[in-house]
Every structure is written in C-alpha cells, then in structure tokens.
Amino acid sequence: MSKPLLYSYRRCPYAMRARMALLQAGVAYHAHELTSLRDKPAEMLALSPKGTVPVLVLANGEVLEQSMDIMRWAYGQTGDKDRWWARAQTPENQALLAFCDGEFKHHLDRTKYPQRYSDAQGGDHHREQALRVLLTPLEKALHSQAYLGGDQPCATDIAVFPFVRQFAAVDPAWFEALPLPKVQAWLAGWLNHALFEMVMVKTSRS
Ligand SMILES: N[C@@H](CCC(=O)N[C@@H](CS)C(=O)NCC(=O)O)C(=O)O
C-alpha cells in the first residue's frame, strides 16, 4: 500500500499531535510541510477546502482533516499495540482533551495574541482562565501518575502537550513560578522526548 500524505506545519500544535501519533504508531507517511499558513497549496485546498492543517490524504483517496481523526486512524493502522489510543478513551482523558481544544484554546489564543481578538480582556484574565480550565485539572490528574496514560503515555498526553507548550512559552518565567510542579515536570519530559524531537526536525522547507 502506498503511503498517506500529510499536509503539516511544523509549529502547529494540531499538526504536532498528528505527527507524533503517526510516528509512535509506526505508520510511514509522506510529509508536505507548509512554509507558511498564509500560502496553502492549491492541491491541499482542493482536497480540504476548510484550509487548516493537519490534513492526511489516504492511499484510497479518503481525506482526514481533523487532527484527532488522524490520530485515531494512525493507531488503528497498527492495532494500537502499545494501547496509547485505548488508554486515552477514559472519561477523564476525554474531558481533558475537550477542555484543551475548547475553552483552553480560546484563552490561549487571547493570552498569546490579545491584539487579534476584539473580545480579548485585559490584565491576567485569559491566563488565569487557562489555568482554571486545563492546567489545574492537569496538575490533579498528574498527581498520582507520570502520564495521562498512567505509568505509560497515551494519545491524550501527546494531544494536549503541544498546547501546554505554547501556553508556557508565552511567559516562561511566569509559567515556571506557578505552583504546578507535576505539569512543569510533565512538560519538560515531553520537550525532551525523542518522539517530539523527531517530529520537530527542520526540513529544508520548514
Ligand atoms: N480542528 C482542527 C484545527 C486545526 C487548526 O486550526 N490548525 C491551524 C494551525 S495551528 C490552521 O491550519 N489554521 C489555518 C490558518 O491559520 O490559516 C484540527 O484538530 O485539526
């Protein structure tokens, strides 16, 4: 079977989770790394007019245009042998993912780019809300386990981590001073993880 084609963008957190899942699941793929989100290839837009990355084009022509669908497909291809997908299906992990992609992303965007959002509020509003909706629950979840998957990682770890990375990078000194030792250790672990390093290798295009 010929390899699927992933349209990706190196710094996009949704694309990071897709690349990490494909690599961890052991699914080979061709990558088309966009050099800019402002310049999307016409062939990608023809396949997926909504114009976001990641997009995975399967050998049978099917197009997956949501990062979580790509992750699910990747683990399904190799029988989820390490149970990274299965261990992500607990109600707790599903809830964390929903907070990450929903309210947390809303507050992350407004923490990062207040000038881009007319509804952005001043002061520390958005970063405080981000703490409330995701980072405090994450700290609780990691209190008694090294990963969201338990003593081994799962798909929720790699789905959520790229967004926490972005949030921490907005103001690293402030983030490091937060009383969130488990989240800080978990984030540091993923930043140094071979899987992450491998999906962040710069190609000549990115
Ligand atoms: N729900 C989508 C969201 C993907 C998304 O929003 N990706 C961003 C980049 S991080 C994007 O492509 N935005 C389009 C743009 O900025 O033009 C998914 O899970 O794949």
pLDDT, one tens digit per residue, over 121-166 is 998 999 999 999 999 999 999 999 999 999 999 999 999 999 999 9
Taking CA atoms, 146 is separated from 56, 139, 185, 187, in Å, by 31, 11, 9, 11
CATH architecture of 86-194: Up-down Bundle (1.20)
- What's residue 32's pLDDT? 96
pLDDT band at 202; cut points 50, 70, 90? confident
* Mean local confidence (pLDDT), 14-19: 98
Fold of the CATH domain 5-81: Glutaredoxin (3.40.30)
Q: Which of 7, 11, 17, 52 best tests ligand 1's pocket when mutated (most atoms within 8 Å of CB)?
A: 52
Is the distance from the beta carbon of residue 147 to the nearest atom of ligand 1 less than 6 Å?
no
Taking CA atoms, 110 is separated from 19, 52, 114, 120, 124, in Å, by 26, 19, 5, 6, 10
Q: Measured in angstroms, how far is the CA atom of residue 11 from the centroid of ligand 1? A: 11
Residue of minimum CA distance from atom 12 in ligand 1: 52
How is residue 162 written in tokens?
A: 């790229």
Q: Which of 12, 14, 65, 165 best tests ligand 1's pocket when mutated (most atoms within 8 Å of CB)?
A: 14
SS3 150: strand
* C-alpha closest to that of 133 among 155, 118, 150, 111: 111
Q: Taking the domains of the chain in order of start, what are their residue ranges?
A: 5-81, 86-194
As a whole-number percent, the residues of the chain with pLDDT over 90 amount to 96
Average pLDDT, whole number, for the chain? 96
pLDDT, one tens digit per residue, over 21-80 is 999 999 999 999 999 999 999 999 999 999 999 999 999 999 999 999 999 999 999 999
Q: Measured in angstroms, how far is the CA atom of residue 19 from the centroid of ligand 1? A: 14
Is the distance from the beta carbon of residue 48 to the nearest atom of ligand 1 less than 6 Å?
no
Which residue's entry shows tokens 């309210």? 103
pTM of the model: 0.97
- What's residue 162's pLDDT? 98
Is the distance from the beta carbon of residue 75 to the nearest atom of ligand 1 less than 6 Å?
no
- Which atom, in ligand 1's list, is nearest to the CA of 52? 12
Taking CA atoms, 203 is separated from 28, 152, 198, 206, in Å, by 17, 30, 11, 5
